[in-house]
Amino acid sequence: MASNVDSAPKSTLPYPPIHKDKKFVVLSDWLVNLPHAADLTDHLGFGVEKRRQGNLDILAEKKTFRDAFREMLESVSANGHTFEECKEVLKKNITLDVGFRDFYRYCKEHDIPVVIISSGMAPLIRAVLSNLIGEEDAKEIEIVSNEVDVQPDGKWEIKYRHPTSGFGHDKSQAILPYRDLPDPPTVFFFGDGVSDMSAARHANVLYVKQKEGGDNDLAAYCRRESIPHILFEDFGHALRSVSAIVEGKKSAQDALAEGRA
């Protein structure tokens, strides 16, 4: 396979080393449930209607994710909400995905790295993870995401990993190095929204979370672009599918053909 390095957008942030000698790798957008009360833009920014329209504009390719997401976050900062306040709101309201503890335990037992690939900001993700699963387990999980710039006056803004990319964080760049290895692992990618569109074509097995309320933008994108994917409700369901592939009971192609975990 030809190298993808030359075409990669320059990253302003370091990457953790890739896991070169693994048979399977899990890359996941997020490991939690994001209830309505935890959406910063909906409650602290310009509201659910404009946030939803922004996502639809991204899906329709009228706006880039980078620009639309920056507008969402700027609306929170412009309303006077500090970064520390946002961190506390998320810690208070976000819950761990049902089944993730068992899923993570299975991955550790089978030497499968779990890496978060997020369009969010690392300090928020690390704070929420530490709160949900404890600091020791949280430290073991690598995070590839964006960062944040906080000014002395309290104003803050997102620092994109790939500022020249319309995705802000082009998640394909976390997957493609694995695809370029001489003996590449099977890469499982878990996503749920428009921030995952850059990753959708590149994982060996794409899992798309089925969300309540109709905001299933990644599933809509995959259907439109004819990208094979597996719908899952939570990591408990996903574990059944992943373990069947890991243990050789089912091929990745067969799992994708079924389309649901």
Q: Determine the Cα–Cα distance for residues 184 and 21; give it in Å rounded to an integer.
A: 8
Per-residue pLDDT at 5: 43
Give tens-digit pLDDT for 15-47. 999 999 999 999 999 777 765 545 899 989 999
Cβ neighbours around 41 below 10 Å, total = 20
Using only the alpha carbons of the chain, give its radius of gyration.
Answer: 18
Average pLDDT for 199-223: 89
Residue 223: left (phi > 0), alpha (psi -120 to 50), or beta? alpha
Q: Determine the Cα–Cα distance for residues 39 and 30; give it in Å rounded to an integer.
A: 14
Per cent of the chain over pLDDT 70 is: 95
The whole-angstrom distance between residue 77's C-alpha and the CA centroid of its chain comes to 23
Per-residue pLDDT at 8: 79
The mean predicted confidence, pLDDT, of the chain is: 91
24-34+95-258 belongs to which CATH class?
alpha beta
Q: Which of 233, 167, 235, 241 has its CA nearest to residue 202?
A: 167
Domain boundaries, the chain: 24-34+95-258
DSSP notation for 49-112: HHHHHHHHHHHTTSS-HHHHHHHHHHHHHHTT--HHHHHHHHHHH-EEPTTHHHHHHHHHHTT-
Is the pLDDT score of 69 beyond 90? yes
Per-residue pLDDT at 108: 95
